[in-house]
């Protein structure tokens, strides 16, 4: 095992305040029309809210993200939620670490704490609902009895609607620095890593195998947003529906090793991805998970098609250059 720089061994809950989940992301893009079409096709409820597009899950109406106008595609900020009793301790902790607390950006009134991570990404920490599940989410494996046709006609296939945002994976020039920051400042913990190439982090109050992940690149950027669906069939149906709407570039169907989830990635209009994800590993709040380092050849995917060359390209780095 190779320790990630700055990572501290697991300890019992409650010794230090920590965020419990992702509350929302805000993505900036040059034109909102492609975003409205892409995320609507993906199965989210896309609603105009002022000058922004709100991205909500159909079943519960929760707003997982907003898309706003900007000069180029980039993550504007990510909001993390904490419990009310952890808010002031988190504030004192950040101040004690010498982290500069910022004013809310224009157009985003807030009582939260605003800071920047080592790559300059704006982060908000606010009191909010725990969006990460408290237990492993059930996966429906449909029975297929004998004596009947079990698959529906294609025209009768249901529309896939993601249940929730599972995680965000970002490019960073320094994976170890990202892990150290999110561990020390926000209380996330290392789940698994592969050298300096990639690292996955979970929340200590019970969460999926990762709520944030970091992959090595020459510059910061968004690689993908991962959306949880309820069945393996939904992963395939989602991929088919997106291809029929013109979004036929991506990668899948496959299964990851670290996280164990079944996946299909769909390339978005800006060169990053949205992932249909099913049956990801879960780390309960009562468990001190041991974060391990894994060989690169054994840590990417268990099975699936050959990885397209563009899948590992940081489109934001190319745009910035």
Residue ranges per structural domain of the chain: 21-133+161-320
| Token representation of residue 84 | 């009310």
pLDDT at 320: 57
What pLDDT score does 9 carry? Answer: 38
Q: Which residues of the chain fall below pLDDT 70?
A: 1-15, 319-321
Per the DSSP assignment, residues forming a β-bridge with 277 are 228, 263
- E strand or H helix that includes residue 255: strand 250-256
Give 279's DSSP letter.
S
Copy the structure tokens of residue 321: 């250059």
How confident is the model at residue 4, as a pLDDT?
39
- What per-residue confidence (pLDDT) applies to 150? 83
CA 183 – CA 201 distance, rounded (Å) = 8
The rounded distance, in Å, linking the Cα atoms of 203 and 260 is 17
Task: Output the pLDDT for position 3.
Answer: 38
- At residue 67's C-alpha, the angle toward residues 62 and 73, to 5°, is 140
User: Architecture of 21-133+161-320 per CATH?
Assistant: Roll (3.10)
pTM here is 0.93
**Which pLDDT does position 6 carry in this prediction?**
36
What DSSP assignment string belongs to 189-212?
EEEEEETTTEEEEE-TTSEES-SE
Integer Cα distance of 198 and 169 in angstroms:
10
The pLDDT value recorded for residue 129 is: 97
pLDDT at 152: 83
Report d(CA 138, CA 275) in Å as an integer.
Answer: 18
């Amino acid at each position: 095992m190779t320790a990630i720089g700055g990572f501290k061994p697991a300890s019992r809950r409650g010794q230090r305040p920590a965020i419990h989940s992702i509350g929302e992301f805000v993505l900036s893009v040059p034109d909102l029309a492609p975003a409205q079409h892409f995320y609507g096709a993906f199965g989210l409820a896309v609603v105009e809210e002022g000058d922004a597009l709100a991205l909500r899950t159909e079943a519960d109406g929760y707003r997982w993200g907003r898309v706003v106008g900007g000069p180029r595609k980039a993550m504007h900020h990510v909001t993390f939620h904490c419990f009310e009793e952890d808010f002031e301790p988190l504030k004192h902790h950040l101040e004690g670490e010498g982290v500069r607390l910022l004013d809310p950006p224009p157009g985003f009134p807030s009582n939260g704490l605003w800071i920047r991570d080592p790559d300059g990404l704006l982060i908000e920490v606010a009191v909010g609902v725990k969006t990460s599940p408290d237990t492993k989410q059930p996966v429906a494996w449909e029975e297929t009895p004998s004596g009947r046709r079990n698959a529906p006609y294609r025209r009768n296939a249901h529309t896939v609607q993601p249940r929730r945002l599972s995680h965000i994976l970002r490019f960073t020039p320094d994976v170890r620095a990202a892990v150290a920051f999110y561990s020390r400042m926000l209380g996330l913990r290392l789940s698994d890593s592969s050298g300096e190439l990639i690292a996955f982090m979970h929340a200590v109050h019970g969460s999926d195998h990762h709520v944030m992940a970091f992959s090595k690149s020459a510059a910061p950027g968004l690689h993908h947003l991962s959306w949880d669906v309820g069945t393996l069939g939904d992963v395939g149906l989602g991929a088919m529906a997106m291809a029929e709407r013109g979004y036929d570039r991506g990668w899948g169907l496959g299964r990851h090793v670290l996280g164990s989830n079944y996946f299909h990635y769909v390339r978005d209009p800006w060169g990053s991805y949205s992932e249909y994800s099913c049956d990801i590993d879960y780390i309960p709040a009562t468990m001190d998970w041991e974060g391990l380092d894994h060989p690169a050849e054994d840590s990417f995917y268990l099975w699936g098609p050959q990885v397209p060359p563009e899948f590992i390209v940081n489109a934001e780095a190319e745009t910035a250059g």
